[in-house]
Amino acid sequence: DGGITQSPKYLFRKEGQNVTLSCEQNLNHDAMYWYRQDPGQGLRLIYYSQIVNDFQKGDIAEGYSVSREKKESFPLTVTSAQKNPTAFYLCASRAGTSGYNEQFFGPGTRLTVL
């Protein structure tokens, strides 16, 4: 089965800790994205990557970091610099670079700061 997996499904973090959210896709998609969703809100773009070893900041990149060492993997680290990290995090991927393909989403990781 082709798809996007995210782990863990639920994550609890103590203040001051860094945590890493996993995103893996076996769709052979070129582009990958990280979004944050707060309760009752829309999606905000954190980081995105069009190709391996390259990524760009989205609208709310402060306090987050990413890497793209493999085409199928795009992990997101939530650092201690992110002051309000409690949210639902969604990873997405898209085929090609023509700009005419939809994004497909993973199941999400719900992060809670204790």
Partner 1 sequence: ELKVEQNPLFLSMQEGKNYTIYCNYSTTSDRLYWYRQDPGKSLESLFVLLSNGAVKQEGRLMASLDTKARLSTLHITAAVHDLSATYFCAVDPISNFGNEKLTFGTGTRLTIIP
The distance of closest approach from Cβ of residue 45 to partner 1 in the complex, given in angstroms and rounded to an integer, is 6
Nearer Cβ to partner 1 (48/74): 48
The distance of closest approach from Cβ of residue 36 to partner 1 in the complex, given in angstroms and rounded to an integer, is 11
Nearest to 111 by CA among 24, 44, 49, 39: 39
Nearer Cβ to partner 1 (15/54): 54
3-state secondary structure 55-88: EEECCCCCCEEECCCECCECCEEECCCCCCCCEE
Positions in the binding site for partner 1 (CB under 8 A): 31, 41-45, 48, 50, 58, 90, 92, 94, 97-108
Nearest to 68 by CA among 77, 55, 78, 58: 55
Nearer Cβ to partner 1 (18/96): 96
The distance of closest approach from Cβ of residue 80 to partner 1 in the complex, given in angstroms and rounded to an integer, is 27
